[in-house]
Structure 1
């Protein structure tokens, strides 16, 4: 593993993608930044973070052991690496909100952004961006977020948290390489937020839908049992969980 630390960058994911395109990137490179000026989240959202208080990093990994339709296993594994790290720090009430947000007591403490690199119609590599709220204590009141410090009162050493997280990333990458996909899926579903609970969703037309989350397909689509007892699958563009 090769670790690069930066004071500031527009986006750690973009930094790694550019290095990859330039042919100047070794396998398992990690870039961590104290500040991101254009951090990105899912669906084009912006990841906001106070400089020097949180972990913002991206991991580049060559991965040719998965088919394109199996990409979501990377998302599951990445989420579990974060969750396992936080479990060891006794962070309470952890869950994974589909597709890969990490929650504690229903508040988001980590976001994961997966970017796949496809070459010749095959999965060649992945870039995993992770934004973990560590020592930041104030957040936008309109957004249900929290941090490790808010949850425990502890001021964390960012380097120690980074080291522990990367150890878990290595473990879950090894499960991917060894094709232990069922093991990853089972653990992911054990921590899936609101699984088997009545939930409210909003569709593309802002219509409210009631249903039960039954699971997530191998391709990453959310499986919801609707009121008419029909099991339907949705992708991220089609539905939003409202809690």
Structure 2
């Protein structure tokens, strides 16, 4: 496994994406940094972290074996690999907040940004960016954020955590390549944050409404039971689950 370590970079995803256009990049090539000046999350959100206290990296994965309608299984695979890793470090009450934020109880400890490369309507590869709050204790103006040290009281070896996580990514991608879609999806849904609980959502126009999360569709849409007993699907751009 090739690991490229950088002291600071604008974005590990951007760096790895550029590298993949300049040379042949092998599976599980990792770009890791101590600090990101322009870390990004889902839907254009920013990701801010203290220097050297957190795990911030991107990994390259060939996903050409996947059908175009199976793209959400990349998110599922990544989320489950993170959950498996954090469970081994005794992080309590782990959940997946759709589509792939990782929470401990209701505190966000990990964000994921997946950027897929497509060629002739087929998947080519994925750049998977992962940021885990590890040894940072203070999250100013981020009341929903926490870290491994805050949750467990333990200081963690960031490089060891990375190796453990890559091992679990390899495991779950093997499950995916073997076509065990139902196993992955059912395990993902077992950890789905606020599943079967009345929750508040905000739509694209900013309107708030209530519903109960039932599951996710094969394409990754969130399936929500609304107050009028109608089951409706929403994609990532249409809905936001509030805490």
Q: TM-score, normalised by structure 2?
A: 0.97
RMSD over aligned Cα atoms: 1.0
1:193 match: 193
CA-to-aligned-CA distance 1:175-200 (integer Å, 9 cap, x gap): 12111111110110000000010001
Unaligned segments of structure 2, at least 5 residues:
none
Match of 2:42? 42
| Aligned-partner SS, 2:89 | coil
Secondary structure of the corresponding residue to residue 35 of structure 2: strand
Matched residue pairs, number? 243
Structure-2 separation of matches of 1:36 and 1:223: 34
Within a 5 Å distance, the mapping from 1:157-196 to structure 2 comes to: 157-196=157-196
Q: Is the partner of 1:146 in helix, strand or coil?
A: coil
The TM-score with structure 1 as length reference comes to 0.97
**Aligned residue for 2:85?**
85
The Cα shift of 1:30 comes to 1.0
Which digits, 9 at most, give the CA deviation of each residue in 1:44-90, with x for residues without a partner? 11100101000001110111111111110000110111111011111
Shift of 1:142: 4.1
Runs of 4+ in 1 over 6 A off after TM superposition: none
2:9 matches 1:4: no
Deviation at 1:220, TM superposition (A): 1.1
Query: Pairwise mapping of residues 1-243 of structure 1 onto structure 2 (< 5 A)?
Result: 1-243=1-243
Residue deviations 1:15-42, cap 9 Å, x none?
1110112234223211111111111100
Is there any run of 5+ residues in structure 1 with no aligned partner, and where? none
**Structure 2 SS opposite 1:36:** coil
Q: Equivalents in 2 of 1:140, 1:219: separation in Å? A: 36
Are the aligned partners of 2:28 and 2:166 in contact in 1 as well (CA < 8 Å)? Answer: no
How far did 1:160 drift?
A: 1.1
The farther-off stretch of 92-101 and 25-34 is: 25-34
1:171-224 deviation line (CA, Å, top 9, x unaligned): 111112111111110110000000010001011111111110001111111100
Task: Give me the whole-angstrom Cα distance separating, in 2, the residues matched to 1:226 and 1:210.
Answer: 7
SS across alignment from 1:25: coil
* Cα 1:55–1:142 shift into 2, 3 Å: closer
| 1:143 Cα deviation after fit | 3.7
Asked whether the equivalents of residues 66 and 123 of structure 2 are also in contact (C-alpha less than 8 Å), the reply is yes
